[in-house]
Chain A
Amino acid sequence: MWYHGAMKRPISRFLILASVAGLAACAGTKASMKSGSQSGAAANGGAAEAAPQVPPTQVTEASLRVGDFVPREDLKTVHFDYDSAKLSPETLKTLKANAEVLKADPSLVVEVTGNCDARGTVAYNLALGQRRAKEVRDYYILLGVDGTRVATISYGKEKPLCEESTPACWARNRRAETLARVPPPAAAAPAATSR
């Protein structure tokens, strides 16, 4: 069909791309940016293909499919402003403390959950929750935590802690939790697969 051809790539190539380190991935993405960008695009509020800022955080995540992830007292939850994935100074302080816990125990694998308040649609909040989780993971990596020990998951507005339509409840739900992996009973044994 008319829009097939060059744009189509098999899934496997994406997997490879995702696993190469920063520079290569960056170059690859930029090249495809260029071919995709059009003159009129920039005039239209950012356009389709603004050049991405690829952080040096693109190492493969820990798998979400092994073991369960549970709260730990020394891994604190952080909160966000409305419709924002920005990390506040207070949040950065909390995440630094969390990162120290992670660095002190190299066997610890965590899942960062991104959550939103009830306003906005299901789909938009899933995307926003993903951004929140990713911001937290990127910051852990910046602080020296091995990115392969950190997974991200977005729950959007699907896992609220409270359901009232109040500013206090909304603020409580806009959060990223850092949960620790509890390996399945037969931890290293290959027989123990995902649930």
Chain B
Amino acid sequence: MSLLLAALLLLPAAPAPAQTTVNISVGGGTSAPPPVLALAPFAALDVKSGADALLAKQIRDIVRSDLMLSRRFNVQDEGPGLPTATAAVWRLSATVGREADKLFAQVRLENGDGGQAVFERYYRQDPKWLRPLAHRISDDVVKAATGRDGIAGTRIAFVNSQTGHKEVYVMDYDGANVRRLTDDRSIDLLPRFSPDGSEIAYTSYKRGNPDLYLLDLTTGKESTLSDAQGLNIAGGFSPDGTELLMTMSRERSPNLYELDLKTKALARLTHYFGADSSPTFSPDARQVAFVSDRSGNPQIYLLDLAAKSARRLTDLNWCDSPAWSPTGEWIAFAGRANRFDKMDIFLVDLTGSQIRQLTHGEGSNEDPTWSPDGRLLAFSSTRDGRRRIYVMDADGSAPRPVADVPGSSSTPSWSGIRP
């Protein structure tokens, strides 16, 4: 309830949609305010070492950012000159430094009141993996405090144009470590992360046709998934990573297909003379959300794979690029209520009766993708001029740009949580 209230208060120009049901927390979390986590200064292992003090500060800064981005805690800093956090449910402290040629950290999570440790762990890591180490600490803290998997180790793939060509890039979920993955010097489009984050499917025109490729991020090797003349575009992977939904035209109209990644068997899912596109699996892989113009303007449809029947879900002027929430309750999409509006990000429930508008005309907002914990959405927006990648809470609050990458960035795809 308070989430929604906060969302309504934060949205000045938003005309409240005429609907009655409101008290649903988007993102699968509770709607109570997050518990206070008191974050103590991280101590240097060698108190006389400036280098250790710097490492401790670097690790703490990353952990602090992760815990705040997780939206699971009300993080309150403690330390010299700062008051002790009031009503702390958790207190996190650590000791960090160099031990021989390794980076060392001792992390302790206590109950806020009694000082009883609920989690304590020692970490040893090659110093070049400082950021991954900090993210690991953050995810361990989230797990110990909430029982849920954290997303601090996840990444976002996207397309960027800074070289003059469209190439596939990847960055950490917090915008660090932006790097280019392809050097195709062509048009690369619509990257999709596999659920375990080890592969990215994407479309490239480098061989004269929009063919679909699979890039193995571990080996750097690339293979061709589909190169029938016409469109070969990745939709979503199945949650177990064995199937890939695709849009293919095969010298006819674009329709939906399902590719078995092991056997390469291809099943056609729709037979329509207009355009079906952008398929994405439900978390239980029993349904597919997709876009079709079969009723005129593009709308979101749900295809039941067992019954092989489709039903229309949305009824705005334009509804496009659906993304099914990992919790299963919501489908995020880019759409607009009126023909001359810019595109905004919306949520719709599976009955189609509840629609939430999450962005409100700040530029054109497209291509939503869920964080694997269902608490955040990444999307592209032109709100600051050129198209960039943004992340917001799943209730639409706190939108912020991720990384400052030159050129135009589009079509983000969030990885799963690495097992």
Which single residue of chain B is at the shortest CB-CB distance from A2? B306
Q: Which of A23-66 contact B (CB under 8 A)?
A: 29, 32-33, 35-38, 40-41, 44-50, 52-53, 58, 60-61, 63-65
Report yes or no: B210 in contact with A154, Cβ–Cβ below 8 A: yes
Check A7 against B189 for contact (C-beta < 8 Å).
no
- Which of B208, B228, B251, B364 contacts A152, CB < 8 Å? B251
**Is the CB of B209 closer than 8 A to any CB of chain A?**
yes
Is B358 part of the binding interface, using a Cβ–Cβ cutoff of 8 Å?
no
A64:B254 contact, CB within 8 angstroms: no
Residue of B nearest to A3 (CB): B305
Flag if A122 contacts B367 (CB, 8 Å): yes
- Contact partners of A121 in chain B: CB under 8 A: 278, 320-321, 334, 343, 366-367
> Which residues of chain A have C-beta atoms less than 8 A from B228's C-beta?
14-15
- Is the CB of B88 closer than 8 A to any CB of chain A? no
List of B residues within 8 angstroms of A44 by Cβ: 310-312
Chain B residues positioned under 8 Å from A153 (CB to CB) = 209-210, 230
Chain A contacts to B: CB under 8 angstroms: 2-4, 7-11, 14-15, 18, 29, 32-33, 35-38, 40-41, 44-50, 52-53, 58, 60-61, 63-65, 83, 119-124, 126-128, 130-131, 134, 151-156, 158-159, 194-195
6 pairs, A vs B, C-beta closer than 8 Å? A9-B267, A45-B312, A47-B311, A119-B364, A154-B249, A158-B187
Stretch at the interface among B29-37, B75-83, B96-104, B291-299: B291-299
B295-317, CB < 8 A from A: 295, 297-299, 301, 303, 305-312
B208 lies within 8 A of A11 (CB): no
* From A32, A121, A153, residue with most partner B Cβ within 10 Å: A121
**B124 located at the interface, meaning its Cβ lies under 8 Å from any Cβ of chain A in the complex:** no
**A52-B273 in contact (CB<8A):** yes
Are A131 and B274 in contact, with the CB atoms below 8 A? yes
Q: Give the interface centre of B209, B254, B270, B306 by most chain A CB atoms within 10 Å.
A: B254
- The answer to whether residues A120 and B233 also contact, given A11-B264, A40-B309, A52-B273 and a CB cut-off of 8 A, is no
Minimum distance in angstroms from B225 CB to a CB of chain A: 11
Check B343–A52 contact: CB distance below 8 A: no
In the assembly, what is the distance between CA of A40 and CA of B190, in Å?
33
B318-340 contacts to A (CB < 8 Å): 318, 320-321, 334
B201 to chain A, nearest CB (A): 13
Contacts A121-B321, A124-B277, A154-B210 given: A47-B310 contact, CB under 8 Å? yes
Q: Does B74 touch A at the CB level, under 8 Å? A: no
Range, interface on chain B:
35 or more
In Å, the complex CA distance between A154 and B277 comes to: 14
Interface residue? B272 (CB, 8 A) = yes
Residues from chain B with a CB closer than 8 A to the CB of A37 are 308-309
Main secondary structure of the interface of B (DSSP, over half): loop
Whether the Cβ atoms of B250 and A14 lie closer than 8 Å is yes
A123-B291, A130-B249 are known contacts; what are 5 more A-B pairs with Cβ within 8 Å? A9-B267, A38-B309, A50-B272, A61-B229, A121-B343
Contacting pair B312 A52 (CB below 8 A): no
Of residues 236 through 253 on chain B, the ones whose CB sits less than 8 Å from some CB of chain A are 247, 249-253
Most buried by B among A4, A41, A46, A153: A46
Q: Provide the residues of chain B in CB contact with A18, threshold 8 Å.
A: 250-252
Output the nearest chain A residue to B189 by Cβ-Cβ distance. Answer: A122
B271 near A158: Cβ-Cβ < 8 Å: no
Docked-complex contact B308 and A38, CB < 8 angstroms: yes
CA distance A7 to B231 in the complex (A): 21
Instruction: Enumerate chain A residues within 8 angstroms of B11, measured Cβ to Cβ.
Output: none
With A11-B266, A63-B229, A134-B252 known as contacts, the answer to whether A48 contacts B309 (CB < 8 A) is yes
Closest chain A CB from B342 CB (angstroms): 8
Q: Is the CB of A48 within 8 A of B275?
A: no
**B298 shortest CB reach to chain A, Å:** 6
Q: How far is the CB of B234 from chain A (nearest CB, A)?
A: 10
> A49 near B291 (CB under 8 angstroms)?
no
Q: Are B166 and A58 in contact (CB under 8 A)?
A: no
Question: Nearest Cβ in chain A — how far from B123, in angstroms?
Answer: 40
- Are A195 and B190 in contact (CB-based, < 8 A)? no
Q: Chain A CB within 10 Å — which of B249, B268, B303, B367 has the most? A: B249
A130 near B230 with CB under 8 A, answer: yes
List residues of B (251-283) whose CB comes within 8 Å of A's CBs. 251-254, 260, 263-268, 270-278
**Minimum C-beta distance from A20 to chain B (A):** 13
Contacts of A159 in B (CB 8 A): 187
B410 within 8 A of A: yes
- In this assembly, does B160 line the interface, its C-beta being within 8 Å of a C-beta of chain A? no
| Residues in B whose Cβ lies below 8 Å from that of A41 | 309-311
B409 interfacial contact with A, CB 8 Å: no
A27 to B268, CA, bound (A): 16
Give the residues in chain B near A156, CB-CB below 8 Å: 189
Tell me which residues from 188 to 223 in chain B have a Cβ below 8 Å from any Cβ of chain A.
189-190, 205, 207-210
- Interface hub of B233, B252, B297, B312 (most chain A Cβ within 10 A): B252
